[in-house]
Amino acid sequence: MKMTIKEIAKLAGVSQATVSKIINNYDDVGQKTKERVLAIMDEYGYRPSYAAQSLVKKVTKVVGVIYAGHINANFNHPFFVEVVDMFKKTLGGEGYDLLFFSNEKFHKADENYLQRCQHYNVDGCIIIGGEQVEPSIYELDQSTIPCIGVDIELTGPHSGYIMTDNIQVSSMAVEHFYLTGRREVAFIGGEKESFVSRQREAGFRERIKAYGLQAPEEWFVYGDFFEESGYACMKELLRSERTPQAIFAISDLMAFGAMKAIKDQGLDIHDFAIIGCDDITAAKHVEPPLTTIKQDKQKIGRMAAFILKDLITGHIEQTSLKVDPELVVRESCGSKKPGVMR
């Protein structure tokens, strides 16, 4: 049976106030009293009620998790799930629990995240950015509730955001093509509305120019991050007059699709240099193993947790951070030794 503070107080022969002070670590309680009460609380496994506490204190030690906009397979998204996992572990160490908002019941435009945050009185929240983010997200962003965005730019007074440096992602891919002697390169992007895709494309175009590589407009094709679309994109590339030697796909799955398209066309996969993005488990198992650009999910998750905590405690306000990606060299790019001239 669940105990209340009143019962504990009676058992210990003190007032509720005294018990409460002990719970909240006030130091103006007698040592003897404290020990006695503590022993009783322990004996009965007493835990103060969250509802009652949060009603009067304004702190809950709960952080909301929101998947904004359309995220295919939100929860088991290969990238975000690892970010959130690390985020959870880090904040968990600080005593926070995570509340995942369901949005199945509210998928309409009238979902109001601010209201829901207020309803639960969360201390802050993490917002995972998908496509076509609801306006209500920005309302929350601009509120007094601390928010940390991942892959979404938050500008609220108590908000911050963090994401991989997507310009850098493309730089690394292009640079690797350059250093392995590729001159004609193609780009397989995501949906045109995709924030991440747009950034990577911008970085790609900029670097191409800087290195003087060739990429006619018809070598820019767009999928939806999934395998089938990569397949279709590659088919399209192979149909064009000149065929690119090197292909940068902004997701590993699309890179897989592209590889399959090349094989199906009867071409030698080793005549192509392919770079993917994400470094999912399967990347090292395909033939040939896929060179890819990896995001530092661990770091992003940890950082997000630290920043949010500082935002909550008022230690900082309004930050943003770009995290460097990492190049993972495997065989799909022809050369096992990047940087060696050939």
Partner DNA sequence: CTGAAAGCGCTTACAG
Residue 272 is a binding residue for its own copies (CB under 8 A): no
Output the smallest distance, CB 185 to DNA, in A.
58
CA distance 61 to 52: 14
> Which parts of 117-156 interact with its own copies (CB under 8 A)?
118-121
The 3-state secondary structure of 212-227 reads CCECCHHHEEECCCCH
CA distance 252 to 71: 17
| Residue 39 or 73 with smaller CB distance to its own copies | 73
Helices (H), 108-194: 113-120, 135-141, 166-179
Instruction: Give the CA angle between residues 17, 42, 52 to the nearest 5°.
Output: 45
| Residue 108 or 119 with smaller CB distance to its own copies | 119
With CB under 5 to 8 Å by kind, the binding choice for 324 among DNA, its own copies, none is none
| Residue 47 or 337 with smaller CB distance to DNA | 47
CA dihedral 265, 268, 272, 273 (to 10 degrees): 120
Output the smallest distance, CB 28 to DNA, in A.
4
Residue among 296, 321, 297, 312 at smallest CA distance from 91: 312
CA distance 199 to 215: 17
| Residue 56 or 341 with smaller CB distance to DNA | 56
CA distance 203 to 197: 10
> Of 280, 304, 307, 328, which one interacts with its own copies (CB under 8 A)?
280
Q: Tell me the residue ranges of DSSP E strands in 201-318.
A: 220-222, 246-249, 273-277, 291-294
Query: Taking the alpha carbons of 211, 213, 218, 223 in that order, is the dihedral positive or negative?
Result: negative
> Of 20, 112, 245, 298, which one interacts with its own copies (CB under 8 A)?
112
At 321 the three-state DSSP class reads: strand
CA distance 203 to 250: 12
* Span from 116-124, 153-161, 229-237, 270-278 in contact with its own copies (CB under 8 A): 116-124
Strands 326-328 and 291-294: antiparallel
With CB under 5 to 8 Å by kind, the binding choice for 95 among its own copies, DNA, none is its own copies
Output the smallest distance, CB 249 to its own copies, in A.
15
Residue 88 is a binding residue for its own copies (CB under 8 A): yes
| Residue 74 or 166 with smaller CB distance to its own copies | 74
Output the smallest distance, CB 35 to DNA, in A.
10
| Residue 56 or 341 with smaller CB distance to its own copies | 56
> Of 281, 314, 341, 342, which one interacts with its own copies (CB under 8 A)?
281
With CB under 5 to 8 Å by kind, the binding choice for 261 among DNA, its own copies, none is none
Site residues for its own copies per CB under 8 A: 2, 45, 47-55, 62, 73-76, 81-82, 84-85, 88-89, 91-105, 112, 114-116, 118-121, 256, 280-282, 285-287
